[in-house]
Amino acid sequence: MKRRMLLLHITAIITTAGCSMAPYQHSPQDTPRASQERPLSQTKHPQSKPAPSPSPSELVKARLYEQFQEWKGTRYQLGGMSKRGIDCSALVLLTYRDHMGIQLPRTTRYQARTGKAIKRSQLRTGDLVFFKTGRRGRHVGIYIENGQFLHASVSRGVTISHLSEHYWNSRYWRARRLDIDGRS
């Protein structure tokens, strides 16, 4: 019995060693003929499907979050248009210019006249939201989704806030829709 087990182990070792030492030789059947070869673009891959194209709204949302990441924490400075300090209308102007290819007026006053007036209940990604922050003061941000908007806050700098926050809810004034990628 011991002899039989020893012989079995030796045979297994030789067989395994023989498999790992001999290089694989291609047989003529393994090599595709020129008529069988296809460019990779014509090769069918059943498991791979093209990714669905994001909607215009999803693209705008991605651009807004990208802008937020780039400017996050930049302090508020009235009249500012740089990373050293920026005001609300400048953030809106730069976001639309750099990420949507749309030129807007510099001030909140004139931005509030741009585009089409919409109801609060109709807000969509990319819409401008305006607030009355004082007797003559105005503030602007860009609606993202689910009540959130991007803006340059006097107290927190560039940030994302929620329309339902008491301060913003009580000062909400109007919203405007611009033609972004034909979505007006």
Residue 21 is predicted with a pLDDT of: 39
How far apart are alpha carbons 143 and 20 in whole angstroms? 63
Cα separation of 178 and 173, whole Å?
17
- Kindly name the residue from 9, 26, 139, 162 that is annotated as catalytic: 139
Per-residue pLDDT of 103-119, as tens digits, reads: 999 999 999 999 999 99
Domain contains 11 = no
Reported pTM? 0.71
Q: Is the pLDDT of residue 43 over 60?
A: no
- For the segment 13-39, what is each residue's pLDDT rounded down to a tens digit? 443 334 333 443 444 444 444 445 444
C-alpha pair distances (Å), 15 with each of 7, 21, 26, 154: 12, 10, 21, 78
User: Which pLDDT score, from 0 to 100, does residue 46 have?
Assistant: 53
Select which of 9, 19, 151, 166 is catalytic: 151
pLDDT at 14: 41
Active site residue 88: yes
Domains in the chain, number: 1
pLDDT at 175: 99
CATH number at residue 93: 3.90.1720.10
159-181 residue pLDDT tens: 999 999 999 999 999 999 998 86
Per-residue pLDDT, averaged over 59-78, amounts to 97
Average pLDDT of every residue of the chain: 82
Residue 69 scores a pLDDT above 80: yes
The pLDDT value recorded for residue 48 is 61
Residue 144 lies in a domain: yes
Does any domain span residue 46? no
Q: How far is CA 60 from the centre of its chain?
A: 8
Q: Is residue 164 situated within a structural domain?
A: yes
3-state SS, the chain, equals CHHHHHHHHHHHHHHHHHHHHCCCCCCCCCCCCCCCCCCHHHCCCCCCCCCCCCCHHHHHHHHHHHHHHHHCCCCECCCCEECCEECHHHHHHHHHHHHHCCCCCCCHHHHCCCCEEECHHHCCCCCEEEEECCCCCEEEEEEEECCEEEEEECCCEEEEEECCCHHHHHHEEEEEECCCCCCC
pLDDT at residue 49, rounded to an integer: 67
Catalytic residue among 26, 45, 88, 99: 88
CA gap 124, 144 in Å, rounded: 7
User: Could you tell me if 108 and 88 are in contact, meaning their C-beta atoms sit under 8 angstroms apart?
Assistant: yes
Determine the distance from the C-alpha atom of residue 127 to the mean position of all C-alpha atoms in its chain, rounded to a whole number.
17
151 assigned to active site:
yes
Give the per-residue pLDDT at 153.
97
Residue 21 counted as domain residue = no
The answer to whether the CB of 145 falls within 8 A of the CB of 125 is yes
Which residues constitute the domain of residue 72?
56-177
What does the pLDDT read at residue 142?
99
What is the model's pLDDT at position 11? 44
